[in-house]
A and B are shown apart, each in its own frame.
Chain A
Amino acid sequence: MDWTALWLSFRLAGLTVLALLPIGLLLGRWLAFGEMRGRSVIEALILLPLVLPPTVLGYYLLVAFGAASPLGQAWQSVAGQPLAFSFEGLLLASILFNLPFAVQPTQRGFETVGADLRDAAACSGLSAWQSFLRVELPLAWPGVLTASVLCFAHTLGEFGIVLMVGGAIPGETKTIAIAIYDRVQAFDDAAAGRMAAVLLVLSLATIALTLALSRHLGRRRA
């Protein structure tokens, strides 16, 4: 059992969720309530990682993170190390490829908060911020929760992009999914089986917890 890889995967998934939570809230709310032109273009861009083959997205990210790109150079000058094949690069890639999983459910969550409810909040004297915290967020919460769980689970399982952008540096970019592949390649079926079982149990537990929570929230609202 590669505990380092498991811990790295958890760290990556946790930080991805933390980073995507505000981004998802902002973008999801904006797409749900905003009246603007070009909305479908933005939605398509956000959905793109969902349909692109992971190796294609991974390739573009690798190019963008590389020492020849402006982003890679800027990172190198600030952090003193390259972005590609680093944990930070992996985190950035993870944030990008999880964007649809963070935005879509959150957007659907906010869409359940009708214009009447938001007007009622304003007419009751609530400021935009109070309305967000006391009316919108509690109602959109199941969507936000779904988004977080999906991002977490998807990060744990992502393989192609991680391999392209991060390689398999132990303790730096070698996640549990890569470790399983690594063990299979080395004909260490017992270790691969153990790690796969741990991921399976964790995934099942996550899904069960999400369903239970959203049912509980749904009951409270019904």
Chain B
Amino acid sequence: MTAAGGLSVELRQPGPIPLDVAFDCAPGELLALVGPSGSGKSTILRAIAGTYRAAGGRIAVGPEVWFDAAAGIALPPQRRRAGMVFQSYALFPHMSALGNVMTATGHLPRAEREGRARELLARVHLAGLEARLPSALSGGQQQRVAVARALARAPQVLLLDEPFSAVDKATRQRLYREVAELRRSLEMPVVLVTHDLDEAVLLADRLTVVSRGRSLQTGTPETVTSRPDSVEIARLVDLRNVFEGRVGAHSEQGTAIDWSGKLLEAGPLPGLAPGTPVSWVIPDGFVVLHRRDRPSRGERENPVEGHVETLVPIGQMAWVSFRPSHDGTLPLQFSVPLHVARRNGLAPDAAATVSLLTDGIHVIGPRTKPAS
């Protein structure tokens, strides 16, 4: 594949689709833009491809500037070399799979085009189906033709717009593996747009959370899903345990968080003065159920007593809503394997104790307005 420079994107406009985004994507990196439907993710992708023109901002790939509103630069899509896989694939329905891929090989000498298209179709496991029309291909096969067509341009950037949304679950799992495999051989930046956080976590090196046209946070999946920069991001990445508290005393081990009178030990928070109101989150993997026959094993584990409010078995897991005794305003949510729930007698109204692991407590603050 073509050696490529990194992609840097900055887009700003007040309307009609408000945009305020900035992110980078290194060569060979897969960056996922994640956010709810209608948050402007696809518009960002179209702006990179050149089929949408934002009022302000700058888009560059390596030293090449594709768009710079201030300098009056806006290259047409034909001059951008961006490979795009559309949400509904947008295959040309009157052309065979081969014809679709060959359409994007206009930069090659005529004699090489068919060979290159066949090579790409073989690479996405479609050898032998070159003559088929898109209507004679399955959803997964259509997606592969779309990927081959996007790669046929020898793109400097690969853009994937919800590429897995139109196929069934089994096909999607297979396509995940194929994309993960394929991207190891790609040297260009890859930007994936998806509303599915699990998909993004599975495939991406980094995530950018997008909401209402704004890029809120960029980081590794682990960072974004466990250490969100704001309460809004916490909700967007489906962190259910978001609480309010105040900064307590600082010590050598860390900083205490006062959660409605209960002191929790968190990591060190040197920048926050005692008494500062903060929001804090804990991913459900850091909420640990105590065994009935064995109480808390240490003081650093922030034991919290309370009772089970609801227990919903989903597959082999039990989703537990736990009401702490010291503050009944908001329940803690966590999941445990169903057999663990049974062994520990977890049931609605049963008393239980959980630990909030210090490593998992992430403080968002200081809070300037009440978290909604």
Interface residues of A (CB under 8 A from B): 114, 116-117, 119-127, 130, 134-135, 138-139, 220-222
Contact = CB atoms under 8 A, between A and B. Distances in A.
Interface centre among B86, B90, B104, B152 (most CB of A within 10 A): B90
A185 to B, nearest CB: 51
A120 to B, nearest CB: 4
B104 A124 contact: yes
B86 A119 contact: yes
25 contacts: A116-B86, A116-B88, A116-B90, A117-B92, A120-B84, A120-B86, A120-B90, A120-B92, A122-B50, A122-B51, A122-B78, A123-B50, A123-B77, A123-B150, A123-B153, A124-B104, A124-B149, A125-B78, A125-B104, A125-B107, A127-B78, A134-B103, A135-B92, A221-B94, A222-B135
Nearest to B104: A124
B328 interface: no
Interface of B: 46, 49-51, 76-78, 81-84, 86-88, 90-94, 103-104, 106-107, 133, 135, 149-150, 152-153
Given A119-B51, A125-B78, A125-B104, A220 B94 contact: yes
Contacts of B88: 116
A119 B78 contact: no
B110 to A, nearest CB: 14
Nearest to B81: A125
Contact of A125 (B46, B91, B93, B153): B153
Contacts of A117: 90, 92
Given A124-B103, A124-B152, 9 more contacts: A116-B87, A117-B92, A119-B46, A119-B77, A120-B149, A122-B50, A123-B50, A123-B104, A138-B94
B86 A126 contact: no
Contact of A123 (B49, B107, B135): B49
A207 to B, nearest CB: 24
Contacts of A135: 92
A213 to B, nearest CB: 15
A218 B177 CA distance: 36
By DSSP majority rule, is chain B's interface helix, strand, loop, or mixed?
loop
Nearest to A124: B104
Contacts of B83: 123
A212 B83 CA distance: 38
Nearest to B49: A123
A95 B84 CA distance: 43
A134 B102 CA distance: 12
A7 B169 CA distance: 64
B90 A114 contact: yes
A14 B51 CA distance: 40
Nearest to B107: A125
A220 B82 CA distance: 30
A216 to B, nearest CB: 12
Contacts of B152: 124
A127 B46 CA distance: 17
Given A119-B51, A119-B77, A126 B103 contact: yes
Contacts of B150: 123
Contacts of B50: 122-123
A119 B91 CA distance: 11
B94 A119 contact: no
Given A119-B77, A139-B94, A124 B51 contact: no
Nearest to B149: A124
Contact of B106 (A114, A116, A126, A138): A126
A58 to B, nearest CB: 41
A124 B107 CA distance: 10
B75 to A, nearest CB: 11
Contacts of A222: 135
A126 B153 CA distance: 11
A176 B136 CA distance: 48
A119 B106 contact: no
Contact of B49 (A119, A138, A220): A119
Nearest to A122: B77
B143 to A, nearest CB: 14
A122 B76 contact: yes
A125 B106 contact: yes
A120 B94 CA distance: 14
A116 B91 CA distance: 9
A123 B82 contact: yes
B78 A221 contact: no
Nearest to B88: A116
Contacts of A122: 50-51, 76-78
Contacts of B133: 220-221
Contacts of B93: 139, 221
B99 to A, nearest CB: 9
A134 B105 CA distance: 14
B232 to A, nearest CB: 31
A120 B82 CA distance: 11
Interface centre among B50, B76, B103, B153 (most CB of A within 10 A): B103
Nearest to A114: B90
Contacts of A138: 94
